[in-house]
């Protein structure tokens, strides 16, 4: 596959799948900060955001790129958190954020600096509770990773978000994903890739396994080019999610396998890795607030990938109202079954920890099913 080159200096074009990804990132950062600054006695919160494939900061159409979205949302969230705290009679929280922006393209990084500087200056004027420090790197991500780790280590950051918005699939090693998830107690990664690049990698790395996974679509693993014609079929989406989940499930306790929704063909994936169930809960809720930005095919309750395409009917779940109706129905059966498998009672925390890697459901639908079935004590 020929990789897309970004000509930042002449104005890069914002593709539809990137626009959708930006909306998710934007809302996630806002909600993340709201959740992490909730303790009444809290005075300070520290985090680091690493944008490993940062780009030039602005697109031809004027839309912001991911680094500027991070700054804008941090500012908006710090203001909202502190307004809310003032209403509750609580003290303000100071937020310290290290932003590490890396891109292999020198033009991109130089252009990015010109966009970030005024925004950073404005944020420090208008939002004194937000303290931003920005570091720039101009390397291939894998070459930059040791320096990134050392910056995070010097600052003893425990809460770290990586945005790995690569072109293709091959610019981030699996071991690096594992290292990130193991190095920081509250690590999260947004990881983007093109499914055809992942398949090409698996074709070399695990040909037999891939052949078995693609078998029911009537394809062999040598036939990947032929997949292009199938990419808008729901069955393809279900199969691809299983392949994605299988490829990454050991990288983190919580791995979302959802594709960026594009009924013209499910080609681009945005997956979220997290160490804590709460992060995945926030992520699932954001997808529901933005129905049809991401897509899932399979079950909508627990065990979302457990349907068998040869025997079961999966469904397209677009995180919308009609999907939620079916999720509620499935959860009414799935939740009591899960509890029964453990005996007849289960601590609430264990319950959340055991479900959030296996469901696309909204927290409200999970809670409604718990109340209706009176399963948790
Ligand atoms: C999809 S664009 C990034 C867009 C940006 N994250 C945004 O949302 O606005 C991918 C960027 O990765 C850069 N790039 C390509 N290969 C890279 C590598 N191995 N390491 C770091 N950057 C790379 C390109 O120069 C390009 O700017």
Q: Tens digits of per-residue pLDDT, 307-342?
A: 877 777 789 999 999 999 999 999 999 999 999 998
Name the DSSP letter for residue 58. B
* pLDDT the model gives residue 375: 64
What would the DSSP string read from start to end of 100-145?
EEE-S-HHHHHHHHHHHHHHHHHHHHH-TTEEEEEEEE-S-HHHHH
The mean of the pLDDT values for the chain is 93
Burial 53-89 (b: 16+ CB within 10 A, else e): bbbbbbbeeeebbbbbbbbbbbbbbbeebbeebeeee
Gap between the Cα atoms of 205 and 118, Å rounded: 46
Burial 305-317 (b: 16+ CB within 10 A, else e): bebebeeeebbbb
pLDDT at 376 over 70: no
The answer to whether 160 and 187 are in contact (CB under 8 A) is yes
Give the global pTM. 0.95
Mean pLDDT across 278-290:
96
* pLDDT the model gives residue 46: 98
pLDDT at 1 over 60: no
Cα diameter, the chain? 64
Report pLDDT digits (tens) over 245-267. Answer: 999 999 999 999 999 998 788 99
* pLDDT the model gives residue 148: 98
Taking the centre of ligand 1 as the mean of its atom positions, its distance from the CA of residue 64, in whole angstroms, is 14
**The two three-digit tokens of residue 63, written as one number:** 């839309």
Confidence of residue 112 (pLDDT cuts 50, 70, 90): very high
Pocket test for ligand 1, best of 70, 166, 172, 193 (most atoms within 8 A of CB): 166
Taking the CA atoms of 2, 259, 141 and 57 in sequence, report the sign of the dihedral they define.
positive
pLDDT at 111 over 50: yes
Confidence of residue 168 (pLDDT cuts 50, 70, 90): confident
pLDDT at 100 over 90: yes
Query: Which residues are within 8 A (CB) of 335 and not within 5 positions of it... i.e. 6 or more apart?
Result: 302, 366, 369, 370, 373, 375
Out of 5-19, 95-109, 145-159, which region has the weakest mean confidence (pLDDT)? 5-19
* pLDDT the model gives residue 358: 95
pLDDT at 90 over 60: yes
Closest residue by Cα to residue 281 from 333, 358, 343: 358
Taking the centre of ligand 1 as the mean of its atom positions, its distance from the CA of residue 101, in whole angstroms, is 10
**The two three-digit tokens of residue 108, written as one number:** 């991109």
pLDDT at 2 over 60: no
Gap between the Cα atoms of 71 and 163, Å rounded: 14
State which ligand 1 atom lies nearest to the alpha carbon of 59: 9
Question: What residue ranges line ligand 1, CB within 6 angstroms?
Answer: 6, 18, 53-55, 65-66, 102-105, 108, 140-141, 165, 167, 171
The answer to whether 314 and 238 are in contact (CB under 8 A) is yes
**The two three-digit tokens of residue 15, written as one number:** 């593709």
* pLDDT the model gives residue 40: 97
N-terminal to C-terminal alpha carbon distance within the chain: 53
pLDDT at 3 over 70: no
For residue 8, the tally of other CB atoms under 10 A from its CB is: 23
The answer to whether 298 and 238 are in contact (CB under 8 A) is yes
Report pLDDT digits (tens) over 177-199. Answer: 999 999 999 999 999 999 988 99
pLDDT at 296 over 80: yes
Taking the centre of ligand 1 as the mean of its atom positions, its distance from the CA of residue 172, in whole angstroms, is 12
Taking the centre of ligand 1 as the mean of its atom positions, its distance from the CA of residue 261, in whole angstroms, is 21
Closest residue by Cα to residue 285 from 31, 11, 1: 31
Alpha-carbon distance values, 331 to 53, 320, 334, 344 (Å): 38, 16, 5, 17
Residue of 309 and 62 predicted with greater confidence: 62
**The two three-digit tokens of residue 273, written as one number:** 């890795």
* pLDDT the model gives residue 147: 98
Taking the centre of ligand 1 as the mean of its atom positions, its distance from the CA of residue 183, in whole angstroms, is 24
What would the DSSP string read from start to end of 304-346?
TT---TTT---EEE-SSHHHHHHHHHHHHHHHHHHHHHT-S--
Residue of 162 and 7 predicted with greater confidence: 162
């Amino acid at each position: 596959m020929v990789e897309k080159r970004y000509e930042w200096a002449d104005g890069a074009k914002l593709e539809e799948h990137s626009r959708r990804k930006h909306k998710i990132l934007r809302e996630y950062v806002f909600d993340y900060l709201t959740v992490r600054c909730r303790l009444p006695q809290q005075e300070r919160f520290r985090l680091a955001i690493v944008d490993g494939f940062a780009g030039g900061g602005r697109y031809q159409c004027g839309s912001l790129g991911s680094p500027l979205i991070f700054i804008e949302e941090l500012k908006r969230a710090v203001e909202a958190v502190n307004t809310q705290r003032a209403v509750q009679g609580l003290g303000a929280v100071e937020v310290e954020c290290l932003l590490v922006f890396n891109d292999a393209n020198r033009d991109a990084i130089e252009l990015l600096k010109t966009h970030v500087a005024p925004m950073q200056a404005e944020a420090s004027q208008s939002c004194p509770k937000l303290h931003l420090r920005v570091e720039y790197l101009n390397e291939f991500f894998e070459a930059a990773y040791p320096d990134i780790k050392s910056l995070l280590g010097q600052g003893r950051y425990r809460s770290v978000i990586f945005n790995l918005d690569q072109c293709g699939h091959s610019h981030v090693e699996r071991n690096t994903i594992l290292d990130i998830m193991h190095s920081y107690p509250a690590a999260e990664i947004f990881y983007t890739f093109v499914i055809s690049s992942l398949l090409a990698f698996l074709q070399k790395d695990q040909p037999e396994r891939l052949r078995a996974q693609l078998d029911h679509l009537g394809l062999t693993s040598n036939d990947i080019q032929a997949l292009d014609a199938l990419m808008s079929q729901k069955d393809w989406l279900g199969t691809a999610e299983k392949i994605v989940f299988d490829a990454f499930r050991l990288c983190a306790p919580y791995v979302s396998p959802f594709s960026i929704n594009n009924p013209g063909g499910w080609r681009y994936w945005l997956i979220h890795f997290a160490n804590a169930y709460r992060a995945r809960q926030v992520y699932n809720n954001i997808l529901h607030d933005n129905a049809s930005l991401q897509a899932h095919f399979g079950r909508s309750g627990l065990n979302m990938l457990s349907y068998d395409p040869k025997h079961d009917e999966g469904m397209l779940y677009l995180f919308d109202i009609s999907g939620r109706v079916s999720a509620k129905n499935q959860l009414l059966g799935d939740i009591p079954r899960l509890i029964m498998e453990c005996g007849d009672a289960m601590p609430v925390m264990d319950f959340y920890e055991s479900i959030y890697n296996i469901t696309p459901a909204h927290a409200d639908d999970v809670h409604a099913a718990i109340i209706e079935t009176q399963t948790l004590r």
